[in-house]
Structure 1
Amino acid sequence: MAEENHTLASEFILVGLSDHPKMKAALFVVFLLIYVITLLGNVGIIMLIQGDPRLHTSMYFFLSSLSVVDICFSSVVAPRTLVNILSERRTISFTGCTGQTFFYIVFVTTECFLLAVMAYDRYVAICKPLLYSTIMTRRQCMQLVVGSYIGGILNAIIQMAFIIRLPFCGSNIINHFFCDVPPLLALSCASTYINEMILFSLAGIIELSTVASILVSYIFISCAILRIRSAEGRQKALSTCASHLTAVTLLYGTTIFMYLRPSSSYSLNTDKVVSVFYTVVIPMLNPLIYSLRNQEVKGALSRVVERITVRV
Structure 2
Amino acid sequence: MHAIDAAALTRTYGDNTVVDGVDLRVPAGQVHALLGPNGSGKTTTVRMLATLLRPTSGRAAIRGFDTVTHAEDAKRQLGLVGQFHAVDPRLTGRQNLVMLARLNGFRATAARRHAGELLDRFELAEAADRVVRTYSGGMRRRLDIVAGMIVRPAVLFLDEPTTALDPHSRNEIYRYVRDFVAEGTTVLLTTQYLDEAQRLADAITILEAGRVVAAGTPAQILAAVPAGLDLIVDDADRYAEIAAVLATFGGVPSDSLPAPHLSPMELSFTFTGDAPGLLPVLRALDAADITVRDIGTRATTLDDAFLALTGRDRVAAGARKEVRA
TM-score range, shorter chain: under 0.3
The structure with the larger Rg is 2
More helix by share: 1
Q: Which has the higher contact order (CA 8 A, sep 6+)?
A: 1
TM-score (norm 1): 0.22
More strand by share: 2
